[in-house]
A and B are shown apart, each in its own frame.
Chain A
């Protein structure tokens, strides 16, 4: 069935179809529609979940961790300041291997306060042990919530997953979304039956005070799980594609990369707009292509290397700033491509929710193409920023 719905609505339907047990919630713009829709589902009897109205995001993630530890499948959603407020608990969840799924509506993390899209909220927890996937449209938002549970609860992974969707650009935009049938989702996503949990019949000790003799091994274990997640993500992507007919490419997606000389690496909705720009530029005979960086954790280093090894120049688009020059995606991509002698430049755009337009994206391709021809281009380019020239 097709419905014309917002990204937030799509995410809420994804959670419903995943038959989650517990949803602790706290409102924050632009995530609010997600929890409002879930509250509707629960109160209308369409969804059999415990909906907990918590008094803060910190308590949301605390309740989520505890419910998960007690054997429940848990969903929640947050954004920006809310994610920052639960920071401690985000870090508590992953090492304990509690596979919570939490959508993050990407929004600028103040101050100064703003409510529009920027990635500096989720980038702040990129090293918490959570998986992060950035989606480009509402269909992908819905599908990735369902896939997230399969990935998170896989024994090779057992880590929490954060599907990230652009604040307002997706959360509050309606577009047609194909709603999967519950039966299909049920056969794709089995019920969650964790091996060890808070169960008086077989008491477990979860989160004991841990001396240095053990934490290092635990960290190594998490690193291994994150590494295994790569294989699981691709596998589940293929399974999902077979069953539902929608293939997202797994860790990364590529667009018109055959014979491309210059490529942009993009995340989230910028990818969507860029697809259109690529088509236009291709019509003009420009050899450009696109890499969609879907998963930021685990970071698809090998996949990027393979996809980009024959390219002449790379431009990485970032919607948040890391204070070592350029954004996180730029720095991590450059690190992943170490050893390949390809010019790589950074395009910073859309911070604080400033619109990332086709004009800007065309400029990004133009600069990257110049780099491909061996011209000297600035390594970090601030687009549509007063006082900066690109």
Chain B
């Protein structure tokens, strides 16, 4: 049995990718299942999906804990999630990254296939939805199915819903990524400190789960504790303000859904706290004097 785990962000299509690899395996006469982690996350938030492929019927209904292959649709996830955790020693990581495998630090030297799927998606689909491109890389790196099967599966799944043209374009994204994928070995330098989770016993959890603001070993919990949830990784673009042009009309400050634009210098200036910017672009779009531009990548 070949097990896959997909790490993505809401909106990137990780679940669809898992379903499509399963369909491709079925096209080749195998048995496969794919399923999401049943969460309630939002666009941009980390998402998990799983797939299993075997030559015979698969009975396991649990999540995948020791995958053969780890698919990472967004390399910003590497900052917060230990994606190789549980990966089998001879496993492989397939990652959407501008870097070559030897320049990607996964905290472990491991076989890695890399492709800039975001660029492929922007070129071919005109949207940063990387799920079909990453499938091309997955096929190149693992050979778990043939590229023709994945193209067929994409055409079926996307074509049925969105029309043949969309299906073909997504198949092309997979093929393009397949051609551009480089397989090598990752770096294993960094030691990722995964965020501790507050996991109280039944004796410790407050009655009824009712929480007031409290500090635990795993950080703040209760009212206002989301402040420790840095969401910068959700953003593809970030706003940069031209101080010269800014008239301090404060529309961006009002319109920011995150509240991450703050008044500083005795209310005389503004600052964007990028820890909480999800890159929606409202501020840039609404600035009456075009003082804000959206820039791709980290600031």
Enumerate chain A interface residues (CB-CB to B < 8 A). 95-98, 158, 195-196, 202-206, 208-211, 213-214, 216-218, 220-221, 224
Contact = CB atoms under 8 A, between A and B. Distances in A.
A299 B40 CA distance: 37
A214 B209 CA distance: 8
A216 B205 CA distance: 11
15 contacts: A95-B208, A158-B207, A196-B212, A202-B212, A203-B212, A203-B223, A203-B224, A204-B210, A206-B208, A208-B211, A209-B40, A217-B201, A217-B205, A221-B202, A224-B202
B206 interface: yes
B222 interface: yes
Contacts of A195: 207
Given A196-B207, A211-B39, 13 more contacts: A95-B208, A97-B207, A97-B208, A205-B211, A205-B212, A205-B223, A206-B210, A208-B209, A209-B40, A217-B200, A217-B201, A218-B205, A221-B205
Nearest to B223: A203
Contact of B223 (A95, A96, A204): A204
Given A205-B222, A221-B202, A158 B197 contact: no
Contacts of A208: 209, 211
A210 B209 contact: yes
A202 B199 CA distance: 23
Interface residues of B, number: 20
Contact of B202 (A203, A206, A210, A217): A217
A209 B199 CA distance: 16
Interface in B177-223: 197, 199-203, 205-213, 222-223
Contacts of B200: 214, 217
Given A95-B208, A96-B210, A208-B211, A213 B197 contact: yes
Contacts of A210: 209
Contacts of A202: 212
B81 to A, nearest CB: 16
A217 B39 CA distance: 19
Contacts of A220: 202
A211 B205 CA distance: 14
A196 B205 contact: no
Contacts of A218: 202, 205, 208-209
Contact of B213 (A96, A97, A203): A203
A282 B223 CA distance: 64
Contacts of A206: 208, 210
B209 A204 contact: no
B203 to A, nearest CB: 8
Q: Lowest 8 CB-CB distances: which A-B pairs, in order?
A: A97-B208, A220-B202, A217-B202, A96-B208, A203-B223, A97-B207, A205-B211, A221-B202
Contact of B205 (A158, A203, A214): A214
Nearest to A202: B212
Contacts of B199: 213
A110 to B, nearest CB: 33
Contacts of A221: 202-203, 205, 207
A349 B40 CA distance: 48
A120 B219 CA distance: 47
Nearest to B209: A218
A257 B142 CA distance: 76
Nearest to B200: A217
A208 B202 CA distance: 17
Among B39, B202, B209, the one with the most A-chain Cβ atoms within 10 Å of its Cβ is B209
A210 B224 CA distance: 16
A213 B202 CA distance: 11
B208 A158 contact: yes
A213 B223 CA distance: 19
Contacts of A214: 200, 205, 209
A98 B223 CA distance: 19
A218 B204 CA distance: 10
A62 to B, nearest CB: 16
Nearest to A221: B202
Contact of B208 (A98, A203, A213, A216): A98
Contacts of B209: 95-96, 208, 210, 214, 218
Contacts of B206: 196
B269 to A, nearest CB: 31
Contacts of B223: 203-205
B139 to A, nearest CB: 33
Contacts of A204: 210-212, 222-223
A95 B210 CA distance: 10
A204 B202 CA distance: 19
Among A196, A210, A216, the one with the most B-chain Cβ atoms within 10 Å of its Cβ is A196
Contacts of A209: 40
Among B40, B203, B206, B207, the one with the most A-chain Cβ atoms within 10 Å of its Cβ is B207
A209 B213 CA distance: 16
A279 B211 CA distance: 55
Nearest to A94: B208
A210 B203 CA distance: 17
Among A204, A208, A211, the one with the most B-chain Cβ atoms within 10 Å of its Cβ is A204
A374 B224 CA distance: 68
Nearest to B201: A217
Contacts of B39: 211
